[in-house]
Amino acid sequence: MAGRHPDPAAKSAVALVACPDYDETRVLAALRRGVDLLGGIQGFAGSGDRLLLKPNILVGALPQKHVTTHPAVLRAMGLLLQETGARVRFGDSPGFGNAIAAAARAGLAEVAAAIGMEQADLATPGQVSFNEALIAKQLVLSRAALEADGIISLAKMKTHGFMRITGAVKNQFGCVPGIRKGEYHVKMPRAEHFAAMLVDINRYLRSRLYVLDGIVAMEGNGPGSGTPRRMNVLLLSSDPVALDAVFCRLVHLPVAFVPTMKPGAESGLGTWNDDEIEVRGDEISALACPDFKVVRRPAVEFDRSFPYYLKKWITPRPFIDPALCRQCGVCTEVCPLEPKAVRPLPGRPGTTPAYDYARCIRCYCCQEMCPHGAIAIRRPLLSRLIHR
């Protein structure tokens, strides 16, 4: 597949637009400005185009939790696209639970209905072959994503235990239907392989535009249980690697710690190199948050052959705080392994689950999806000694 830069001298443009809050009028004005900085909405949509808006609906969480793309961002982008005469739907496939209920709880269904935008069903799978893939030559993706004329990605600026950040590139993993996501984790437990698969999904789907909602981001124990952090920024680009690289610059995170950067650049999906990125709009230094709480270390890699004693002592592992656990069983349900690596002890159903760290592949799906913020990722002592 061709890279995004047939002209090697061309730079990837990233629009960086300040926006102080989620007031609908201000968000619409900020997004319009961002799109204009990239050449205008006509460059991304045309009359009659069947477009899919892909927000991040990790789980059905209230907007004020800042787990999901904010409804004001979905509304504004929907209105901008509708101005072109495009037919726009929105949808995501959450990692757990019912997509319609999740979109309603996140406040997305209501704003979409108000502007005449239907919710697409992303649960129906379609299988595609991708010979140019880095790693995932067979992909199972949502039919709605495959059949759209174009996708506009509406990602949320958050931390992520496995990939360090979830921004533009990671957001498209939601185009894998529901529990199929777990199969990818099992097949690709190494961060570098998983990152290459994410890049493959982005290369195959070729979204027209990526928007990153960072007006209020999430730091710390993201992507589901972190702390909201006001960043007052929206980022837009047709290059998801460049957009994530600007996210890194905003929070002073070295791009080398984000596993999607290297395969993203090498495959031609985009660039993380500052010399190849043109930031347009507001000053990055005025909006930077150097103390943003994100893991500032490379991912510790291991696979199943990795000796258990090393895995146990080096790899950060999920940990349940019994005081916060409500014994809901979501972590057991989303664990992609069979038998599960986190579950109540035998003979004690309905109790706080326990980990089998010898089997756990450290995908952190349990931490990501715990609805009560009871799971954190802890570094074993040896890991802390190696990377201070």
The residue ranges that bind ligand SF4 (CB under 6 A) are 318, 320, 325-331, 335, 337, 341-342, 352-353, 355, 360-366, 370, 372, 374-375
Considering beta carbons, is residue 307 or 350 the nearer one to ligand SF4?
350
| Residue 296 C-beta: closest distance to ligand SF4, Å | 21
- d(C-alpha 173, C-alpha 176), whole Å: 6
Considering beta carbons, is residue 6 or 322 the nearer one to ligand SF4?
322
- State the Cα angle at 245 between 92 and 77, rounded to 5°: 40
Residue 45: C-alpha distances to residues 41, 56, 78, 243, 280 (Å): 6, 21, 11, 20, 21
| Residue 361 C-beta: closest distance to ligand SF4, Å | 5
Residue 90: C-alpha distances to residues 100, 158, 270, 291, 348 (Å): 11, 21, 25, 34, 42
Beta bridge mates, 280: 15
Considering beta carbons, is residue 187 or 326 the nearer one to ligand SF4?
326
Considering beta carbons, is residue 212 or 320 the nearer one to ligand SF4?
320
Considering beta carbons, is residue 186 or 286 the nearer one to ligand SF4?
186
Considering beta carbons, is residue 319 or 384 the nearer one to ligand SF4?
319
| Residue 61 C-beta: closest distance to ligand SF4, Å | 14
Over its C-alpha atoms, the chain yields an Rg (Å, rounded) of: 20
| Residue 55 C-beta: closest distance to ligand SF4, Å | 23
Burial degree of 18 (CB within 10 A; 0-12, 13-18, 19+): middle
- d(C-alpha 39, C-alpha 33), whole Å: 10
| Residue 262 C-beta: closest distance to ligand SF4, Å | 23
| Residue 325 C-beta: closest distance to ligand SF4, Å | 3
Q: Where are the alpha helices (DSSP H) in 206-292?
A: 240-251, 261-266, 284-287
Using the 8-state DSSP alphabet, how is residue 373 labeled? S
- d(C-alpha 127, C-alpha 34), whole Å: 35
Considering beta carbons, is residue 139 or 374 the nearer one to ligand SF4?
374
Q: Where are the alpha helices (DSSP H) in 239-321?
A: 240-251, 261-266, 284-287, 308-314
Considering beta carbons, is residue 156 or 185 the nearer one to ligand SF4?
185
| Residue 336 C-beta: closest distance to ligand SF4, Å | 6
| Residue 329 C-beta: closest distance to ligand SF4, Å | 5
Considering beta carbons, is residue 304 or 388 the nearer one to ligand SF4?
304
Contacts of 244 by beta carbon, 8 Å cutoff, 6+ apart = 165, 167, 168, 169, 255, 258, 260, 261, 264, 272
How many residues does this entry show for the chain?
A: 388
| Helix H or strand E segment including 127 | strand 125-129
287 by DSSP, 3-state: which?
helix
Contact 137, 130 (CB under 8 A): yes
- d(C-alpha 91, C-alpha 248), whole Å: 27
Contacts of 78 by beta carbon, 8 Å cutoff, 6+ apart = 53, 88, 90, 111, 112, 115, 117
| Residue 369 C-beta: closest distance to ligand SF4, Å | 7
Considering beta carbons, is residue 84 or 159 the nearer one to ligand SF4?
159
| Residue 335 C-beta: closest distance to ligand SF4, Å | 3
